[in-house]
Amino acid sequence: MKKFRKILLTLVVLGLLGSVLFLYWPVYQRSVPAAGNDKPVDVVLIGGGIMSVTLATYLQELEPSWNIQLYERRDGVAEESSDGWNNAGTGHSGFAELNYTPQLPDGSIETKRAVDIAEQFEISRQFWSHQVREGRLQQPSDFINPTPHMSFVWGDDNIAYLRKRRDALVKNPLFYGMEYSEDPAQIGKWAPLLMEGRDPKQKVAATYMPIGTDVNFGVITRQLTLSLQRSANFQLHLGNEVTALRQNGDKTWNVTVKNLKSDTESTVKSRFVFIGAGGAALKLLQLSGIPEARDYAGFPVGGQFLAFQAPAIASRHGVKAYGQAETGSPPMSVPHLDARKLDGKPVVLFGPFALFSTKFLKYGSWFDLYSSVTHDNLGEMVSVGGENLDLVKYLLSQAQLNDDDRHAELRKYYPSAKREDWKLVTAGQRVQIIKRDPVMGPVLQFGTEIVADKDHTLAALLGASPGASTSPPIMLDLLAKAFPAQMAAGWQAQLRKIIPSYGRHLNDSAQLTNEIRAMTSQTLRLPYLEVPVGGGVVPQATVPQQALPNAKAKENADLQAL
């Protein structure tokens, strides 16, 4: 018996010692190669997704002489969450996403977040319009297409909520033109697949916004990367993974990179580092050792979609129809029957279905979650887990779904769907932020957040939705946070040429909304609704007919269909 107790005690001590070593690992910094450049490069970007490439595009225009190095572990850019198949492709404008407009205890509808996101997407449209005019992006139909946004609900309570939501939103210029209907015939005209085969006794309601868009962020990322590479001051390094970040005494950074093909490491010295590596950003931020990194942890959530690629189905659904999320589910799990244009062809996706994985990236490691746990964030993770039991239950229930269960969920939105018409596809990983708030304590935070050091030498982007669709305004915020001196010295004036509304809010002025949307709609070949300055009836969507500069005079088939 004594021998058993001794063995048990030894195992407990070893377990505790192992836990301490795990939480405080590494206990020392391993040696890395010395920097190969005496003169620091200006910027190192980590991650070849839309965030890094958008930031590089800004910087190349603001400071053409700066040397910019981008490192990506994959063999191509936009292969993780920026790829068209790995996200919903929604030009997030708050038109359809019901989680952006919660109903308050007094019964009113909170519209602030929806308006803020709509404002941000208008900045994205201006940024992409500028890149089209400058020749950095090619034909707009390659990456952005008119796709009306719908919200679709059933049940008396949800219908009452949706009606109030529409009435609250249309008071804002950015949401002018949103239609509402409880008529099954009208909803069937907007989206036939939603209504065919549905029980005629079921009460339904929908809103319809004709100026919504579908965006292929992978195409944007790849085209902007090709444009960046025309400059000798930009270098793209594929198949290279950042393994260490060390700050020097002069506040520059030594960035150690492993070439995954040759299995060799090298180090580059840089004045500024941006960590835009999607799910991997948290671990890289922790590698930097900056004090700000101690306030964060991450929780990964994957997603799967049911994909319809047959033209007979995909050609009959031309909208993004969003529903109500299940209680406790994350925003990325809002169900939607989603019209996409991928690989040049129409596709319909339904989902997403949550997929629990300990990976932080689709092509990551199963140890990503465990290796991100430290003595700084363990308590926060445990606390948040206890306070979000609905989310835990939701993820557990999703893990138990089979194809019959998924098909049953699909039929709530596409009643006549057949099992043989779809296949299950896995989308990208998202890492939700767990943040230590000075007032509220640890909280599970949805959305994105910029984390920067006090010296303005390193910044990272954490989080997910709305993500890619608001990458230009997010990177504008990063410029202000990380380069305050340059912004004050002249960047702001240059940015107004890229973003004409810079410093102003479209929603404050119907006239400004008309001015900016007319410009971006013409450049991007998108539908346009003029907001009446002095009131008036809801007009029909119109399509600007002028041809793009240096483009063939060819009408966009999607615009004609709309």
| Overall size of the chain counted in residues | 562
Closest CA to 452 of 82, 67, 37, 55: 55
User: What's the predicted TM-score (pTM) here?
Assistant: 0.89
The answer to whether position 436 is within a domain reads no
Q: Is the peptide bond before 544 cis (omega within 30 degrees of 0)?
A: no
For residue 332, the model assigns a pLDDT of: 60
Range of the domain at 5: 1-30
Phi, psi of 188 (to 5 degrees): -65, -30
The answer to whether position 557 is within a domain reads no
CA distance 149 to 527: 13
The answer to whether position 199 is within a domain reads no
More confident residue, 555 or 219: 219
Burial bucket for residue 53 (CB in 10 Å: 0-12, 13-18, 19+): buried
Burial bucket for residue 534 (CB in 10 Å: 0-12, 13-18, 19+): exposed
Q: Which residues make Cβ contacts (< 8 Å) with residue 94, sequence separation at least 6?
A: 100, 101, 113, 114, 115, 116, 117, 118, 169, 175
On the question of pLDDT at 559 being above 60, the answer is: no
The answer to whether position 8 is within a domain reads yes
Residues pairing with 450 in the sheet: 461
For residue 388, the model assigns a pLDDT of: 67
Residues pairing with 235 in the sheet: 69
CA distance 22 to 31: 20
Please report which confidence band the pLDDT of residue 548 belongs to, taking 50, 70 and 90 as the band edges: very low
For residue 338, the model assigns a pLDDT of: 95
The answer to whether position 14 is within a domain reads yes
Give 23-30's long-range contacts (Cβ < 8 A, gap of 24+): 23/373, 23/374, 23/375, 23/378, 24/374, 24/375, 29/244, 29/246, 30/244
**Which pLDDT tens digit goes with each residue over 220-279?**
999 999 999 999 999 999 999 999 999 999 999 999 999 999 999 999 999 999 999 888
On the question of pLDDT at 41 being above 70, the answer is: yes
CA distance 420 to 401: 18
Reduced to 3 states (helix: H, G, I; strand: E, B; else coil), residue 48 is coil
**Which pLDDT tens digit goes with each residue over 478-496?**
999 999 999 999 999 999 9
Please report which confidence band the pLDDT of residue 12 belongs to, taking 50, 70 and 90 as the band edges: low
Q: Find the Cα–Cα–Cα–Cα dihedral 537, 538, 543, 546, rounded to 10°.
A: 30
Q: Which residues make Cβ contacts (< 8 Å) with residue 353, sequence separation at least 6?
A: 303, 304, 305, 333, 398, 401, 406, 409
Phi, psi of 560 (to 5 degrees): -65, -40
Using DSSP bridges, classify how beta strands 41-46 and 144-146 pair: parallel, antiparallel or unpaired: unpaired
- CA 203 to chain CA centroid, Å, is 33
On the question of pLDDT at 148 being above 70, the answer is: yes
Residues of the chain above pLDDT 90, percent:
67
Residues pairing with 354 in the sheet: 303
Task: Break the chain down into helix, strand, coil percent, rounded to 5.
Answer: 40, 25, 35
Residue type, 192: P
- Count the domains in the chain: 1
The answer to whether position 13 is within a domain reads yes
**Which pLDDT tens digit goes with each residue over 300-354?**
888 899 999 999 999 999 999 999 876 656 656 789 999 999 988 999 999 999 8
CA distance 266 to 254: 10
The answer to whether position 260 is within a domain reads no
Please report which confidence band the pLDDT of residue 544 belongs to, taking 50, 70 and 90 as the band edges: very low
**Which pLDDT tens digit goes with each residue over 98-125?**
999 999 999 999 999 999 999 999 999 9
Residue type, 194: L
The answer to whether position 21 is within a domain reads yes
Reduced to 3 states (helix: H, G, I; strand: E, B; else coil), residue 530 is coil
Phi-psi label, residue 453: left if phi above 0, alpha if psi -120 to 50, beta otherwise: beta
